[in-house]
Structure 1
Amino acid sequence: MNQQDRQHQHDHHDTRATRPARRGVRVLLAAGAAAFTLTAGLATPLNPAPQEAQAKDDGGKKTLTVAVAQSVDSLSPFLAQRLLSTSVSRLMYDFLTNYDPKDNHVVPGLATKWESSPDKLTWTYTIRSDSKWSDGQKTTAKDAAFTFNKMMTDDGAATANGSFVSNFEKVTAPSDTQLVIKLKKPQATMTALDVPIVPEHVWKDVKDFSKFNNDKDFPVVGNGPYVLTGYKTDQYVKLKVNKDFWRKSKTPQFDEIVFKTYKDQDAAVAALRKGEVSFVAGSPALTPAQAASLKGDKNIKVNEGPGRRFYAIAVNPGWKTKSGQKFGDGNKALLDQKVRQALFRAVDTKTIVDKVFQGHAVEGAGYIPPRFQDYFWEPSDGQKLSYDPKAAGKLLDEAGYPLKGGKRVGKDGKPLDLRMLCHATDPNDKAVGKYLKEWYGKIGVGLTLNCVDDVSVPWYAGEYDLAFDGWSVNPDPDFVLGIHTCAALPTKAKEIAATDNGICDKKFDGLYEQQLAEYDPAKRADIVKDMESWLYDSAYMNVMAYPNAVEAYRTDQIKSIETMPTASGNIYGQDGYWSWWSAQPATASDSSDSGSSSSTGVVIGIVVAALVVIGGGVFVARRRRTTADDRE
């Protein structure tokens, strides 16, 4: 999910982001949307007055204020997994390649062109000569080589996006404009390396990449379309336009972007109505009631399109480190595939789509959302684990959990009771949780919801049984597949890692390696679908729905803003910076009520709740454990 966009997006990374969210879907690490308490006496956005004053005092400087219901996990691109964090990374740093906003095809970024050797083991990138760091130094191929080499040799630097370089053998920069990457085996993702490139002259002095959060000295040196100028934990992130950014075809119309925190989604919607903010997106989408309440306002437009994330139940597979050390306290009954499949068959996904999402979602099936048709997979009729309480009960009987007095009881005489992590700020988690308690109860399984602001602590400690999960998926699905491999497991118990849910299986790993090495698009898609089939049968991930992207903005404050993809796309949580880059402020002549603007300088507020829901991804998306839509 750009990975980076873990709803956790994870999307990533932008899945990635959304990692993330790597890719998003870095999107989208997983991390859960965090709730923040407003300081008594302040207006709805945290500390809005200083920003509004600045907009006025600077003689009409145009500030795009983005209100978020998610905190930053890290401003280091090596650690960031939550959707907000990976979204900020996309603004601060350039990537080798980018995705075209119209249809997601790969376009040049820091690299102007690339080519591979006949055996596909050596890739040469031409680095643009017109890019420079915000401190005035020239960006070169040596910066890219430093970034990748650090990820290859330092576990801390590989936290967010390590899967991209696990197959790299050697990275060199023969000249300032030539980057050469040699691979151990062919790798199909070489034009989709969603990795922010950092300046070597700044980062070479970092002592511990696992702890450095890049949040002390401002402005932060970058080469992206914006420069990070300020940050205060759980309050704001400030960026200004990088006037030296190489892309000159279009100049951003907002001088500054400020990400601010709102206490909850209802407060954000209320602020939109009042004209205090200009854009609102939910976690991962506006609720049906919120969207419906806004449609009657002549100055508000509700934008809805197919989403790039999934909404799922993740099952604790029994966490362990890369060396095999087991940790966590997941219910051992869940190690039995029949028990997991029984829980799968107890869930009525149609009711979830109809009652919770009220039609603003598509019933879940495979791991990749239908928005990405090349990789979308559905189980065959004979393979489907469709809603069937009787079949679920039979599976539990076969697994050795007979029904006694209305409760499933194991051989040890203890009832089968499960704990489920949920995001305290996500209304969907709470609504679905109520249904799950009812449905599981019908088959004799107890369920206790543990709704917390930050699910990442119990998540990475393996201290849960079930969890709401979700990642933003990138156009290339490698990232959201890689987070389920053994290589993504933590090095030490309970430490943040690239893994989504602690899954480690040799067959899945083998399929992952096959898809990574397959350059034929159709053949690779078939392998990816085999991976989705394995995830489905294993029942470690029950994808219940693919939520639509539902968001709204004030047409009297935003004249136009680019969606991605252009046709029926989303605005927040894109695989790129296109929405912010393209946003055009409305003028008095555009507005039916120009008095709704919040200051004499144009102040636009965008409210986003983590699109990653992990049960929720990054965040650390990876990224978003509080994410969402992908990491990226």
Structure 2
Amino acid sequence: MAVTLAACATSQRGENAGGEGGTLTFGAAGAPDLFDPFYASDGETFRVTRQIMEGLVGFEPGTAEVEPELAKSWESTPDGKTWTFKLNEGVKFHDGTDFNAEAVCKNFERWYHQTGAGQNQALSYYWIENFGGFADGQTPSLYSSCDSPDPATAVIHLTRATSKFPDLLGLPSFSMQSPAAMEQYQANNVQAQGDSFSYPEYAKAHPTGTGPFKFSGYDEGNQTIKLARNDQYWGEKAKIGELIFRIIPDETSRKQELEAGSIDGYDFPNAADLQALRDAGHNVLVRDPFNIMYLGFTQKNNPALNDLRVRQAIAYALDRDNLVKANMPEGAEVATQFYPDTVEGYAPDVQKYPHDPEKAKQLLAEAGQQNLTVNFYWPTEVTRPYMPDPQGIYNALAEDLRAVGITVNPVSKPWNGGYIDDVDNARADIFLLGWTGDYNTPDNYIGTFFGTPTNRFYTAGAPWGEQLAAELRAADSEPDEGKRQAMYQQINRKLLAEYLPAVPLSHSPPALVLNERVKGLVPSPLTDEEFATVSLSE
């Protein structure tokens, strides 16, 4: 591993006095539960908090490539276990306190020392997925400690090398937040209440970062979140004076609000509407595809799905070419593995499962499952970047399965009203799900899906599940880039394509649409747009 993994690049942020003013109103597809990104895992929370908070690293606009943010440079020891970050100086949190190395360490120690409800997977999802355990030592942690030898230098010690560092520090969950504000408003005082949680005042009303916008308030009755320009921002000031997110879950309603002029843009327009939106003079921005949609198998409840021949039969039954043409936006591609070909370790020679109904029937017969019945879960009240029309996608795939003699029992539930809970707790037979990459490493995709022997695919007890988890960990920990790429290619060829815990379906380029007066928004393949660059014409 090169000693310096990110050269001493300097931030491109300017120092203008900034700000033409005006208010941008954007139609969000859902409501955040809170505004403390550490306890969040949903895109709608991150859409808001990434305007308020910043990380040590960020992502170059329009790409998935890491760039400096609050850290202006970093370097690693040859073993990949010690990382030294040089910080931008003169940076203030919104409450006027200093951002410095001590604040960096206090953020890391806060994450690492979570207790009680704070260790719940539903709350500390990104910490658990990326760092593992906590200070109590019950589960090993990637994080070891943090030092602040001087105000402009933070040193992070890890327990092992990992391919995802420092990229993972660009995740909104690991944004730097004001230690003083978190202490004042009891940021860690989250409590379990049955199947849900109660959040402290900090997470509801006082999120405090260093970013170009400051939190103004959340009117739950009117479903609006207001942010104001941070005129003391350390870099280039936001061009608009106010940013409002209006929560409009229904895509048709978002379109109508744009046409009526009550919002300036919205996310995830229906693919069928794109040309009409362009014809009406709106600006449709199409992101590069950096996601995966898959059909997952849960091998816990339906014994037939434990048979590889049955999983292969379902894969052959699916007409993915037709699915992409009929149900996905322009530019979507059929997927053959669990991440796009721009990610390290992509293997073009994996086993393919082309649409072959006769092959599917043959495999079902060999497995003695000519009368197979499956409970097929699909989500309602949601639009995901990789899944623009859940019901239409379900209908197309269910028709393919019925065509080879499989009986399909549909089970539909709201995304946040039982669907995710059922899928994560292995209650579905087959299900639709996917992922938008957080950063550009294979571990962020297949490590997230299959990195533990027990997961939503229920591989516990299956030798291939244990093997897959072990090989993923070994690949992630390999510091030599060439060796690591070869290891991931072999995982894609051998374990994933042949054991088939799920069927990759498609990579989709999600769009967002803006009215003609909005200028300067850069679409992100990570759906990581920053609104500080936006200006409004007359």
On whether the aligned pair clears a TM of 0.5, the verdict is yes
> Is 1:362 aligned to residue 366 of structure 2?
no
Partner of 2:137: none
Per-residue CA deviation, residues 301-327 of structure 1 (Å, 9 max, x unaligned), is: 223343222222122243xxxxxxxxx
Partner of 2:9: none
CA distance in 2, matches of 1:209, 1:520: 43
Tell me, what secondary structure is at the counterpart of 1:237? strand
Tell me, what secondary structure is at the counterpart of 1:161? helix
Partner of 2:273: 290
Does the 8 A contact of 2:57 with 2:66 survive in 1? yes
What is the deviation of 1:347?
Answer: 0.4
> Is 1:350 aligned to residue 321 of structure 2?
yes
What is the letter of the counterpart of residue 168 of structure 1? Y
CA distance in 2, matches of 1:459, 1:554: 37
Tell me, what secondary structure is at the counterpart of 1:310? strand
Tell me, what secondary structure is at the counterpart of 1:365? coil
Partner of 1:273: 259
**C-alpha spacing 1:182/1:541, structure 2 compared with 1 (3 Å):** same
Q: How does 1:205-354 map to 2 (within 5 A)?
A: 205=186, 206-208=188-190, 211=197, 213=199, 218-233=205-220, 235-248=223-236, 251-282=237-268, 286-297=269-280, 299-318=281-300, 330-354=301-325
Q: How does 1:74-89 map to 2 (within 5 A)?
A: 74-89=34-49
Tell me, what secondary structure is at the counterpart of 2:276? helix
**C-alpha spacing 1:373/1:150, structure 2 compared with 1 (3 Å):** closer
Per-residue CA deviation, residues 230-268 of structure 1 (Å, 9 max, x unaligned), is: 1244822222222222223xx211112221112411122
Partner of 2:534: 583
What is the deviation of 1:95?
Answer: 0.6
| Aligned counterpart in structure 2 of residue 461 of structure 1, from 418, 421, 425 | 425
What is the deviation of 1:417?
Answer: 3.1
What is the deviation of 1:399?
Answer: 2.6
Tell me, what secondary structure is at the counterpart of 1:314? strand
What is the deviation of 1:358?
Answer: 6.2
> Is 1:574 aligned to residue 538 of structure 2?
no
CA distance in 2, matches of 1:73, 1:375: 36
| Aligned counterpart in structure 1 of residue 474 of structure 2, from 494, 514, 524 | 514
TM-score (norm: length of structure 1): 0.70
> Is 1:393 aligned to residue 354 of structure 2?
no
CA distance in 1, matches of 2:400, 2:91: 56
Does the 8 A contact of 1:422 with 1:449 survive in 2? no
Does the 8 A contact of 2:343 with 2:442 survive in 1? no
Unaligned 5+ runs, structure 2: 1-19, 132-140
Per-residue CA deviation, residues 526-558 of structure 1 (Å, 9 max, x unaligned), is: 333333333333322212111122332221x21
Q: How does 1:43-54 map to 2 (within 5 A)?
A: none
CA distance in 2, matches of 1:559, 1:150: 38
Does the 8 A contact of 1:76 with 1:214 survive in 2? no
Does the 8 A contact of 1:317 with 1:334 survive in 2? yes
What is the deviation of 1:81?
Answer: 1.0
Q: How does 1:521-540 map to 2 (within 5 A)?
A: 521-533=481-493, 534-540=495-501
Partner of 1:614: none
**C-alpha spacing 1:183/1:431, structure 2 compared with 1 (3 Å):** same
CA distance in 2, matches of 1:198, 1:137: 11
CA distance in 2, matches of 1:160, 1:463: 23
Partner of 2:126: 160
Greater mean deviation of Cα atoms: 347-356 or 208-217: 208-217
| Aligned counterpart in structure 1 of residue 444 of structure 2, from 469, 479, 497 | 479
Partner of 1:116: 76
What is the deviation of 1:379?
Answer: 4.3
Q: Which has the higher contact order (CA 8 A, sep 6+)?
A: 1
Partner of 1:553: 514
Does the 8 A contact of 2:143 with 2:159 survive in 1? yes
Q: How does 1:136-175 map to 2 (within 5 A)?
A: 136-154=96-114, 155-156=119-120, 158-165=124-131, 166-175=141-150
CA distance in 2, matches of 1:242, 1:111: 20
What is the deviation of 1:452?
Answer: 2.3
Tell me, what secondary structure is at the counterpart of 1:536? helix
CA distance in 1, matches of 2:357, 2:508: 25
Partner of 2:13: none
Partner of 1:603: none
CA distance in 1, matches of 2:424, 2:412: 16
TM-score (norm: length of structure 2): 0.81
Partner of 1:196: 175
Partner of 2:16: none
Partner of 1:327: none
CA distance in 1, matches of 2:287, 2:179: 40
CA distance in 1, matches of 2:24, 2:299: 43
Does the 8 A contact of 1:125 with 1:178 survive in 2? yes
Does the 8 A contact of 2:374 with 2:429 survive in 1? no
Per-residue CA deviation, residues 482-532 of structure 1 (Å, 9 max, x unaligned), is: 32245596xxxxxxxxx6655562222223223322334343333333333
> Is 1:448 aligned to residue 434 of structure 2?
no
CA distance in 2, matches of 1:448, 1:150: 45
**C-alpha spacing 1:126/1:209, structure 2 compared with 1 (3 Å):** farther
What is the letter of the counterpart of residue 199 of structure 1? S
CA distance in 2, matches of 1:88, 1:214: 18
CA distance in 2, matches of 1:510, 1:488: 9
CA distance in 1, matches of 2:323, 2:394: 10
CA distance in 2, matches of 1:139, 1:501: 42
Identity of paired residues, percent? Answer: 19
Partner of 2:10: none
Tell me, what secondary structure is at the counterpart of 2:449? coil
**C-alpha spacing 1:362/1:309, structure 2 compared with 1 (3 Å):** same
Does the 8 A contact of 2:451 with 2:468 survive in 1? no
CA distance in 2, matches of 1:392, 1:562: 44
**C-alpha spacing 1:73/1:376, structure 2 compared with 1 (3 Å):** farther
**C-alpha spacing 1:488/1:397, structure 2 compared with 1 (3 Å):** closer
**C-alpha spacing 1:450/1:124, structure 2 compared with 1 (3 Å):** same
Unaligned 5+ runs, structure 1: 1-59, 319-329, 409-415, 490-498, 565-569, 588-632
Does the 8 A contact of 1:287 with 1:357 survive in 2? no
Does the 8 A contact of 1:78 with 1:209 survive in 2? no
CA distance in 1, matches of 2:161, 2:150: 24
Aligned length: 478
What is the deviation of 1:102?
Answer: 5.3
Tell me, what secondary structure is at the counterpart of 1:552? strand
CA distance in 2, matches of 1:74, 1:65: 20
What is the letter of the counterpart of residue 215 of structure 2? L
Per-residue CA deviation, residues 120-141 of structure 1 (Å, 9 max, x unaligned), is: 2211112322222111111122
Does the 8 A contact of 1:346 with 1:443 survive in 2? yes
CA distance in 2, matches of 1:488, 1:145: 32
CA distance in 2, matches of 1:503, 1:97: 35
CA distance in 2, matches of 1:209, 1:518: 38
What is the letter of the counterpart of residue 92 of structure 2? K
Per-residue CA deviation, residues 248-297 of structure 1 (Å, 9 max, x unaligned), is: 3xx21111222111241112222222322222321xxx333211222322
What is the letter of the counterpart of residue 308 of structure 1? F
CA distance in 1, matches of 2:178, 2:491: 37
Does the 8 A contact of 2:295 with 2:431 survive in 1? yes
CA distance in 2, matches of 1:551, 1:339: 38
**C-alpha spacing 1:374/1:502, structure 2 compared with 1 (3 Å):** same
